[in-house]
Amino acid sequence: MSFKRNDIRAAISLPSADQVVSELLSDAEAKEQEMQLSPGERRWIMEQRKKEKERVEKARRKEKAQRPNKVSYLIPVDLRLKIKAIATEYSAPESQVATFLLLEGLRLHEQEELDFLRYLHPSNSPRYDSQLIHPDDEERLNRVAKKSR
């Protein structure tokens, strides 16, 4: 079958008819096998399906509840590895180690023991006036040095 140019059907990828037919047949076979089971076995299967459905729903609710707490930051690979090493050392989740370190940094900043001013670099981004780069962040420092040349 050929489609005209800009025909939306050309962009829709449908599974092959053989695949659809084989899925229908396997579903029918599974139902047929289930019908041959005793009532007690069918009840057990239904209970297992119900438990699985509840487990999936519980995981979905948990993920939805945690959504406001999730955030994504780009950090240097070596920093990520250091956080992972600390988490492994103390047998704690990486997210809790990262949270702890962030809270400690915030505490130091609020007590004015952490000065960002000397680590600010001009930014080429229209969104931000400056970039805050830690002296140990070689990856970003190299990028800034290349741009300034």
> How many H helices and E strands in the chain?
5, 2
The pLDDT of residue 4 is 62
pTM for the model stands at 0.58
Name the pLDDT band for 55 (thresholds 50, 70, 90). Answer: very high
The pLDDT of residue 135 is 86
How many other CB atoms are there within 10 angstroms of residue 143's CB atom? 14
Name the pLDDT band for 140 (thresholds 50, 70, 90). Answer: confident
Euclidean distance between CA atoms 98 and 129, whole angstroms: 27
With H, G, I as helix, E, B as strand and everything else as coil, classify residue 73.
coil
Euclidean distance between CA atoms 76 and 135, whole angstroms: 12
Q: What angle do CA 84, 85, 88 make, to 5 degrees?
A: 85
Euclidean distance between CA atoms 97 and 116, whole angstroms: 22
Q: For the chain, what is the radius of gyration of the CA atoms?
A: 28
For the chain, give the percent of residues with pLDDT over 70: 89
